[in-house]
Structure 1
Amino acid sequence: MDLEINRQALIPVVQQIVSAVAAWIRESGVSPGTRLPSIRQLAHDNLLSQSSVIEAFDRMVAEGLLASRHGSVFFVAAQPAVSGPATECQWYEGAERDWGVFTDSPLGELKLGCGWLPDSWRENDDISYAIREITRTDIAGVFNYSTPLGLPVLREQLLKRLTQIQVASSVDRILTTHGASHALDLLIRTLLKAGDTVVIESPGYGNLYSLLTFHGVKLLEVPRTRSGPDLQVLEALLAIHHPKCLFINSLYHNPTGTSLSLLVAERLLQLAHARDFLIIEEDVYGDLQHASCTRLAALPHDDRVIYVASFSKTLSSALRVGYLTANEATIAQLVKVKTLTGMGTSRFAEAVVATLLANGTYRKWVQRLRRRLSVEMATTLQLLEDEEWEVFAVPAGGMFLWARPGVEERSTLHAHARRLGVLLSPGALFSPTGERSDWQRINVAYAGDRRAQALFRAMGPAGSSPPF
Structure 2
Amino acid sequence: MTTTPPSTPPVGTLSRDAGESLTDQIVRTVAARIDERVLRNGSRMPSIRRFAESHGVSPFTVVAAYDKLVARGYLESRRGAGFFIRERTPLHMAAPAPSMPAPDGEVAGHSLDVVWLVRNMFRQMPHQQMPGTGVLPSEWLDGDSVANALRAIGRQNASLLLNYGVPQGFVPLRQQLQRKLAELEIGAAPEQIVTTAGVTQALDMVAREFTRPGDTILVDDPAWFLMFGSFAALGARVIGVPRLADGPDIARLAELAALHKPKLYVINSVLHNPSSTSLSAAKAYQVLRIAAEHDITIVEDDIYCDLHPGSAVQPATRLAALDQLQRVIYLSGFSKTMAANLRVGFIATSHELARRLADRKMLQTLTTSDIGERAVYKILSEGAYRKHAERMRARLDGLRARTVRQLERVGLQINMAPPAGMFVWADAGRDTNVLAERAMAQGILLAPGSLFSPSQLPSTFMRLNVAAMQDPAIWRFLEKELR
- CA deviations over 1:185-210 (Å, ceiling 9, x no partner): 11111111112122111111111111
Q: Distance in 2 between matches of 1:23 and 1:452?
A: 19
Alpha-carbon contact 2:246-2:279 (below 8 Å) kept: yes
Q: Distance in 2 between matches of 1:194 and 1:83?
A: 46
- CA deviations over 1:371-413 (Å, ceiling 9, x no partner): 111112122111012223111311121111111225x687863
Query: Is residue 439 of structure 2 the alignment partner of residue 417 of structure 1?
Result: yes
Measure how far apart 1:290 and its partner are: 1.5
Measure how far apart 1:302 and its partner are: 6.2
Measure how far apart 1:97 and its partner are: 9.2
Alignment of 1:144-293 (within 5 A): 144-292=163-311, 293=316
Indicate the residue corresponding to 2:34 in structure 1: none
Query: Is residue 355 of structure 2 the alignment partner of residue 310 of structure 1?
Result: no
Measure how far apart 1:121 and its partner are: 2.4
Q: Distance in 2 between matches of 1:353 and 1:100?
A: 24
SS of corresponding position for 2:340: coil
Alpha-carbon contact 1:95-1:425 (below 8 Å) kept: no
Sort the Cα spacing of 1:416 and 1:28 in 2 relative to 1 into closer, same or farther, 3 A.
closer
Query: Is residue 447 of structure 2 the alignment partner of residue 428 of structure 1?
Result: no
Q: Distance in 2 between matches of 1:100 and 1:167?
A: 33
Q: Distance in 2 between matches of 1:129 and 1:81?
A: 41
Indicate the residue corresponding to 2:372 in structure 1: 349
SS of corresponding position for 1:323: strand
Query: Is residue 125 of structure 2 the alignment partner of residue 143 of structure 1?
Result: no
For 2:285, the aligned partner's letter is E
2:465 to 421, 443, 461: 443
Sort the Cα spacing of 1:86 and 1:333 in 2 relative to 1 into closer, same or farther, 3 A.
farther
Alignment of 1:9-158 (within 5 A): 23=17, 83-84=68-69, 95=116, 110-158=129-177
Deviates most, 429-438 or 452-461: 452-461
Alpha-carbon contact 2:432-2:461 (below 8 Å) kept: no
For 2:361, the aligned partner's letter is K
Deviates most, 153-162 or 192-201: 192-201
Sort the Cα spacing of 1:82 and 1:446 in 2 relative to 1 into closer, same or farther, 3 A.
farther
Alpha-carbon contact 1:285-1:313 (below 8 Å) kept: yes
Alpha-carbon contact 1:420-1:451 (below 8 Å) kept: no
For 1:320, the aligned partner's letter is R
SS of corresponding position for 1:223: strand
Sort the Cα spacing of 1:164 and 1:96 in 2 relative to 1 into closer, same or farther, 3 A.
closer
Alpha-carbon contact 1:94-1:426 (below 8 Å) kept: no
TM-score between the two structures when normalised by the length of structure 2: 0.73
Indicate the residue corresponding to 2:11 in structure 1: none
The alignment yields a C-alpha RMSD, in angstroms, of 3.2
Alpha-carbon contact 1:188-1:212 (below 8 Å) kept: yes
Q: Distance in 2 between matches of 1:151 and 1:259?
A: 31
SS of corresponding position for 1:423: coil
For 2:460, the aligned partner's letter is D
Alpha-carbon contact 1:94-1:425 (below 8 Å) kept: no
Alpha-carbon contact 1:179-1:310 (below 8 Å) kept: yes
Deviates most, 193-202 or 162-171: 193-202
Indicate the residue corresponding to 1:459 in structure 2: 481
Sort the Cα spacing of 1:299 and 1:235 in 2 relative to 1 into closer, same or farther, 3 A.
same
Sort the Cα spacing of 1:166 and 1:110 in 2 relative to 1 into closer, same or farther, 3 A.
same
Sort the Cα spacing of 1:264 and 1:140 in 2 relative to 1 into closer, same or farther, 3 A.
same
Measure how far apart 1:250 and its partner are: 1.2
Alignment gaps of 5+ in structure 2: 1-14, 24-63, 75-112
Q: Distance in 2 between matches of 1:82 and 1:316?
A: 36
Q: Distance in 1 between matches of 2:341 and 2:18?
A: 28
Alignment gaps of 5+ in structure 1: 1-20, 30-78, 462-468
TM-score between the two structures when normalised by the length of structure 1: 0.76
Indicate the residue corresponding to 1:329 in structure 2: 352
Measure how far apart 1:428 and its partner are: 1.5
- CA deviations over 1:319-372 (Å, ceiling 9, x no partner): 100001000111111111100110111100000000000111222211111111
Deviates most, 372-381 or 175-184: 372-381
Alpha-carbon contact 1:102-1:108 (below 8 Å) kept: no
Indicate the residue corresponding to 1:389 in structure 2: 412
- CA deviations over 1:282-335 (Å, ceiling 9, x no partner): 010111012311111111356010000011111111110000100011111111
Measure how far apart 1:451 and its partner are: 2.1
Q: Distance in 1 between matches of 2:443 and 2:211?
A: 42
Identity rate, percent: 33
SS of corresponding position for 1:396: coil
Measure how far apart 1:244 and its partner are: 1.2
Measure how far apart 1:243 and its partner are: 1.2
1:369 to 392, 405, 409: 392
Q: Distance in 2 between matches of 1:102 and 1:159?
A: 36
1:404 to 409, 418, 427: 427
Alpha-carbon contact 1:376-1:447 (below 8 Å) kept: no
